[in-house]
Structures are given as C-alpha cells and as structure tokens.
A and B are shown apart, each in its own frame.
Chain A
Amino acid sequence: MSDIRVEQLDEFRWIIPPTGGMRVPGIIYADERMMKRVEKDESLNQVANVAHLPGIIRHSLAMPDIHWGYGFPIGGVAAFDAEEGIISPGGVGYDINCGVRLMVTNLQFGEIKNRVKDLIIALFRDIPAGVGSESSLKLSVDEEKRVLREGAGWAVNRGYGSSADLATTEDGGRMQAADPSCVSERAIERGRRQLGTLGSGNHFLEIEVVEEIFDRKVASTFGLMAEGQVAVAIHTGSRGFGYQVCDDYLARMVKRGGKPDFPLPDRQLACAYIASDEGKEYMAAMACAANYAWANRQMLMHRTKQTFEKTLQRSPREIGMRLVYDVCHNIAKIEEFPVDGRKKKVCVHRKGATRALPPQHPALPDVYREVGQPVLIPGDMGTGSYVLVGTEKAFEETFGSTCHGAGRVMSRGRAMKASRNRSIATEMAGRGIVVMAAGKKTLSEEMPEAYKNIEEVVNVVHRAGLSRKVARLRAVGCIKG
C-alpha cells in the first residue's frame, strides 16, 4: 500500500503535492476505480520519485495504464529542460522503442474467415518468435551499423517495403542523433542475429478486424474504411540490442552515481545531464536502438505482407496491405512545447506512453496534418486494439502524450497460478481467436485477466481529452513469442 498522499483535482486527474525533495507535483490520469488499484502498489511512489530529478518541467505525469515498474512507473511521462535537465535510461526502459505498427488491407473478414488458422500457422512459421529468437539474416558489423544510423530507411533500401512507409512512421523511422560509436561491442553482437524477429513476453503479431468506428472522418483518413476490414498489428521493439544499450548505460550511471549533486531516491533512476558527454552518448546509443526497432518492425511488416500473399494466393494489389502508422512507446526525445508562454526544447521521456500530436503539428505527415496523429493502443492478448487520434489538450497538458496499452494488474506468477489446469489457447479459440505461442508459459502469463481492461484505460484518456477514440479493432488471430 502506498503511503503517498493523493488529492483529486477533477474527474480524471489526481495530484501528488510536492513533499521532501520533489521539485514538482505528480499528476495521475485515472478514474476513481483505477486509482483504488493504483494505490495498492508502489507506482505512486515512483511518480513521486521521478519528480525529484533535476530539470523536470511542470509535473511528473502518469497515464491511466500506470503500473509498478522499476525506476519510472510504466505509463510515466516526464519532460526535462533540454539545457539543464537530465536524461535517464530507466525513464525509457530496457526495450527501447518498443512500439506498435498497424497495417490495414483491402480484405473483408468474410473473405478470410476460414483462412485465419492457415494465416496464423504460416505467420508463425515465417516470423521468428520466442525467447532469444534468431533471424535468418545475420548482419555484418558494418551492415548493423548502417541499420543503427538509418533505421526503417535501411530496411526500405534493402527491399523491405517502400519509402511511403517512412512518411507514416513516427520520426520517419529514424532518430538523427544515432551514433554507433556510442554502442558497446556486446550490444552490437546481440543485435546481429535478431533483426526481423518478434521476441517474447507481451510482444505479438495480431490479425484484427475493424469492429466499431467512432469517428468516420478521421478513420477514413487513416485508411480504416468500414467495419469488417482486416488489419494487422505488430507489437515489438529493439530486442536484445536495446536491452543491452539500456543495461550498459544504467550500469555506467549507477557507478558514477556515487557522487551526484542531487540525491537519487532509487538507483534505477540513475541519470546524466542531457548536456553532459555521458548524457549525449546515451542519447546517441538510445537513438541507435530506436532505429534498430523501426527497422525491425519494417521488416516484420514486409514478411507479413509476403505471407498473406503466399497463403491467400492473392496479389499485393488485391490484398492492399498498407501502413497506417508506427508509434513508439518507450523513448526519450527532444521536442518543442510551449512552457510558460514560450516555446521550449524539452527531453520528453515516455515509458509506456505514446506520443499523441494534435492536428497541424509540423511533425505530422501531410496525409494526417488535418486530423492529428494516429495513436495505436494494443490491448491484452485477444481484445484487439484501439486507434485514437492526438489532441491539442495532450499537447498542452501532457507534452503530447497519452496511454500505451492495457497495463498489467496481475504479476506473471499470479497469472500462472490463476491459469493452472486451464487451456488458455482453447479458451481463446472459444472466443474466435486463433493463438499460437512459442513459449510454453507465454499464454498463461499473458492471459487476458492479467491486464487492465483496455476499454477503461482508453475511456479515461478519451474523456480526459488526451486523445479521441477513432476505431476499435478485435483480434481474430495472434502469434506470440
């Protein structure tokens, strides 16, 4: 139980007034029921801990999918002054640029209803998934460094997809700050065999069907034309490469952390000033991992396209699989926001949170300029996903950020116990969802009850105005690691 004092500000906002070394208040977006659950674990302490870090601007924020992480809470958002503030590897997480990519097709569910199982079997065969899954592609060190510098563009240049995909990928699928010389040999070695793999845990590739459209104008701009349309969602990140980058820099900063000029409430919050050499080097290495993740999702999308064509014996034109958008939800980025009436460069950490830019923002591709950024929110296994759109309010209140998913409520151990003597795959099949997983325990650990209800999470961000509902998709098939 948390001993942090929280006050309700309005229907969906709760404030932690600054105490002790907190430099700013904490703000949590949640409804009353969620807040009761949040108070049971330590995530509120983590929101308060983040507020201790130098250069933090306005608030330490948490989205409604907040849960206990390490260092920063999952669902945490914090912006730091780009000149005087810090950057923290623990504020990004180990799976750097873990994210979601959504593709739509010209197919209607009726056309593939009897082929979902075939598609899932074929995808499971063609896409390496599972713990430490390895790619058929082994990169040379020089080639891997090109991936790290060029991101999704590297994949497009090697024939995985088209340049149009880059326009609808966050940051064009490439962070400019990337510098492979800031990456350890260990990270390089781990990255060589994992490009084009899904990984394990909560990562997945899902065949989905548009179930409900809330905003037809925005939905059609995103390519979501009608109920029954088939789509594919991919949720994965930078694999072992990203874990190693985070691990290397955290260890370095913890080691140096013996003599900080400010007290750290938790070692996992170890950080460096953004303007310091160490801060710049972490940013350059983190950007390499972000680029690796974008190249990874770009390759997986291309493989998915090919598998659909082969399995359904239809031409690429008939299938018409195209990218709606690709978002990252574990990242730190330098972005500009109005602060005290002036435009200011800040380093926004989103750890389990999604960027949600409003209409007319210059970082949006032309096709979405009028409506705002697509925000992709995956649910737990089998619930499908939500597509939301960014708002002005998120830009003003949360540094253009919103939730990222359902968020766990049950530990993996408790999920294993709760699923004992049950076949989760059969239960899912009973709900019309074909599931295949590489790991024996994955389905139990990832069973739907282990997660918060995605609908509750999305309703809070919708009603709080941090993003608006555009469409809901339901899952019909899923491969997991």
Chain B
Amino acid sequence: MDKDKVQAAIPPYRIFDHTADLGVEIYGRNERELFCNAAFALFDIVTDVSLVHVTGEWEVFAEGGDLEELLVNFLREILYMCSGEGLLLKEFMISEMDNFHVKGTARGEPFIHGRHCMNIEIKAITYHRVEIRKASGTWVGRVIFDV
C-alpha cells in the first residue's frame, strides 16, 4: 500500500468569487494531494488552524461514481466530522485511492470553546459545477461550498 504523506503545494487553494456561496479552487501535484488540500482548505476557512493541536487521529472513507463525485463525497465526510462530531482537523493523509474510493486519516482535536474560533459556517459541499482537471502537471479542483 502506497502511503502518501502530504506536503503543502504552494498555494494549496484559493477562493474564487461566487455571489451567494464560496468557491474554492484547490491544487495538488497528484490526486491524493488535491484531496488533502481540499480538506485542509475547508478547515482553513472555518477556523484558525494555527490554534488547532494534533491530539487524535480519525479515519475517513468515501465513495463516488467518478473522481468529481468522490471529491464532493470525501469533503462531505470531512465536513460532517466538523459540524456533526465537533472536530477541528488540520493534517490529512490518503492511504488508498482510486477513481471510486478514498480512504485516509485526519488529525486534529475536538473543538474547545474559548480556545478555538469558528469564522464561518459551511452548510454543505455542493455538486454544483464540481470540476477536476490536470493542467501542466498540476491537479486543479473546483468546488462550491454553501455558506
């Protein structure tokens, strides 16, 4: 099994304008890094990740009919870990992946009132115009978060 510890690509993501919601363009040197950077972008947007310590590790698993659906479903799982389970995560690792499945781990800690902040609420990850393409050696993904 090929493990791929992620180093941040520069930049891991940028926000693009969408009138009502939040568009995120994510970059990676390969699909795994793209997925990890997408998960990181989510937490970088909702909280100040520099205040998040790594005290635990949680597994994450998602399925999809193609790579785009897989990215959305992976981020849906990650978002549920935040809004459903109250976790703040900052380090991600993908251990297994193909076009239809992704399995990995996320590290961070539970949200603590007073220590952590929440900047914004992401209600959901949408499938609206989700896109993944490879451009001159870099993987680029675009996802719209409902905020």
Contact = CB atoms under 8 A, between A and B. Distances in A.
| Chain A partners chain B | yes
Interface of A: 41, 67-71, 74, 90, 93-95, 130-132, 186, 189-190, 199-201, 240, 243-244, 246-247, 250-251, 254-255, 258, 266-268, 270, 408-414, 439-441, 445, 481
A70 B144 contact: yes
Contacts of B120: 131, 200-201, 412, 439, 441, 445
Interface in B1-32: 15, 17-22
Interface of B: 15, 17-22, 46, 65, 69, 72-73, 76, 80, 83-84, 86, 111, 117-121, 123-130, 144, 146-147
Q: Which of B19, B124, B129 has the most CB of A within 10 A?
A: B19
Given A70-B126, A199-B121, A439-B119, 12 more contacts: A67-B19, A70-B129, A70-B146, A94-B123, A131-B119, A132-B118, A132-B121, A247-B125, A254-B72, A255-B69, A413-B17, A439-B118
B115 to A, nearest CB: 15
A67 B20 contact: yes
Given A94-B146, A190-B83, A266 B129 contact: yes
B21 A69 contact: yes
Contacts of B21: 69-70
Given A94-B146, A255-B65, A68 B18 contact: yes
Contacts of B17: 411, 413-414
Contact of B19 (A41, A246, A270, A439): A41
B80 A411 contact: no
Say whether chain A's binding surface is mostly helix, strand, loop, or mixed.
Answer: mixed
A130 B118 CA distance: 9
Contacts of A201: 120-121, 123, 147
B19 A240 contact: no
A268 B83 contact: no
27 contacts: A41-B19, A67-B19, A67-B20, A68-B20, A69-B20, A69-B128, A70-B127, A93-B146, A94-B124, A131-B120, A132-B83, A132-B121, A186-B84, A190-B83, A201-B121, A243-B123, A244-B80, A246-B124, A247-B124, A254-B69, A254-B72, A255-B69, A268-B127, A268-B129, A411-B17, A411-B20, A439-B118
A5 to B, nearest CB: 21
A94 B128 CA distance: 13
Given A68-B19, A411-B19, A200 B65 contact: no
B22 A412 contact: yes
Contact of A186 (B73, B80, B86, B146): B80
Contact of A250 (B18, B111, B127): B127
B123 to A, nearest CB: 5
Nearest to A237: B123
B118 A131 contact: yes
Given A190-B83, A441-B119, A409 B127 contact: no
Contacts of A69: 20-21, 128
Contacts of A189: 84
Contacts of A255: 65, 69
Which 5 interchain pairs have the tightest Cβ spacing? A70-B128, A267-B127, A131-B118, A268-B128, A70-B126
A440 B121 contact: no
Q: Which of B15, B76, B120, B130 has the most CB of A within 10 A?
A: B120
A68 B86 CA distance: 30
Q: Which of A67, A250, A270, A481 has the most CB of B within 10 A?
A: A250
